[in-house]
Amino acid sequence: MWAQPDTTPHFPGAADTYDAIIVGAGLAGLSAALRLPADWRVALVIKHDWQESASALAQGGIAAVLATEDSVEEHVQDTLVAGAGCCDAGHTRGILEQAAAAIAWLRGAGVPFSEENGVLHLTREGGHGKRRIVHAADATGHAVMATLWPLARQRPGLVLLQRHAAMDLITGTGPDGRRQCQGVMAINLPQRRPVALLAAHVILASGGSGQLYPRTTNPAGATGDGQAMAWRAGCQPGNLEFIQFHPTGLAVPGSRSAGRNPLISEALRGEGALLRLPDGSRFMPAHDERAELAPRDIVARAIYQEMQRGNLPHVYLDISHRSPEFLAQHFPNILATCRTHGVDPRREPIPVAPSAHYACGGIPTDLRGRTSLPGLYAIGECSCTGLHGANRLASNSLLECIVLGHAAARDAEARSQHADAWPDHTQDGIRPGAAPVPATQAWNDVRCQQARRQLQQLMWQGAGILRHRPAMEQARDELQKMRQAFLAAGQPEAPSLPWLELRNLLDLACLTLEAALARQASCGAHALAG
């Protein structure tokens, strides 16, 4: 493994001080913000806005044991099976035991979950043995975020730093002599101005890394920022090779927008949708006895293999046998999205193909969200708690956001009672770093965008759904050369968002391929060909 670069941030000479800094405003970030002490001054650092988070795009729902015929132990076992033996069983049980309380918290906040006859409607998704998915029609993420975002904005002491991109973590020596996280160096994007944000508690909730690939359900900002920053600060990542590809991204011309492909929720298969070839025949029963309800990695590989075998651009997902009334009630947003692209699921099958969807690995943490660097927490998709193992079980991720968001906030509050938690910001962590180079030397935005597209193709070839070792080695070598050229050109005086995101993608792409090459056998989402 190659060493982390020296990333002591360039300190601009002025800094803002907070009690806590949260990077990212998806469900994990908002859950933490709403749980931190009300009298704390909290910075919420986001590149765009909440509607462009992966949380807001989530369709399916949140997994929780609420039915009398279900049990937490069954939920745990379903998760361990989906995770292909790579889950942390203790962490998994610890998170899933808090699912009912998480749903109660959301309902108390006013989230309008779907009900039938006055009780929560529970649906089922692939890999789950029981109906345990709480949802708000087929736009659960949007319903949750639309409820929590106004509550967070009303929180006393919240300072919203919108259109700010986190660049690097600020580290230094704490009062106890240990190296600790002391803040975040960010870029005010409209002004292209660096800003030092200082705090005793930094919570990374920056999301996933789907933009490593040319086809993804993730928003354009899912560039692995938190994972890359934490690695540059000395945190070793875990399970990066386990990239989950969602089996059913919409696959029609022109369906890719804002850097992503629309997702066709797994809940359709939970309600009886069938995967078919162009001739109308089913193929999933030949791949797995659970057919369309097999875990995501199995379904995605089956679709990919059928596409390769038949030289097909996509396969079809057919739910036209369900009544129009049922579809309108349970999947109104999917119907609207499909009709926008000329497909009517009430009468015809939906063209679908796998898309990069979820990073099962990330920054290793404990059940309080604590990383190996004191003062630094990681929650949500940027983290690696051991819940997802080698393949995430559907609808466990939003649950993890809430549980770990609350846990990190509680731990930060408890940690604040100890004097050692509060750093002396005159320490070496915020001394001026090496001077940036003139903008004419560093890669400009056009070159960064070109390199990003090249990186995505190399990742698809080297670390896609089915992986060949020679292709992984070739992609690794080419990406390392690209990264070296990028770093050699230097950091611009006023880094742009394309430059910042490419820097993170290059770091994470190289780390992911190294992790994939180190794992010699197929496991879950890491599937070796041959």
**Catalytic residue set:** 296
Give me the sheet containing 122-123, strands edge to edge.
62-63, 133-134, 122-123
CA distances from 148 to 26, 108, 249, 454, 506 (A): 10, 11, 27, 37, 33
Contacts of 141 (CB under 8 A, 6+ apart): 27, 54, 55, 56, 57, 58, 59, 398
| Nearest alpha-carbon partner for 198 in 395, 422, 48, 413 | 422
DSSP 18-72: -SEEEE--SHHHHHHHHHS-TTS-EEEEESS-GGGSHHHH--S-EE---STT--H
For residue 228, give the nearest of 198, 207, 257, 254 by alpha carbon.
207
Instruction: Spell out the SS3 assignment of 79-145.
Output: HHHHCCCCCCHHHHHHHHCCHHHHHHHHHHHCCCCCEECCEECEECCCCCCCCCEECCCCCHHHHHH
Residue in 45, 108, 87 with CA at minimum distance from that of residue 402: 108
Q: If we measure between CA atoms, which residue out of 29, 118, 67 comes closest to residue 398?
A: 29
CB count in 10 Å sphere of residue 182: 28
Burial of 428 (0-12, 13-18, 19+ CB in 10 A): exposed
Instruction: Check: CB of residue 66 under 8 Å from CB of residue 100.
Output: yes
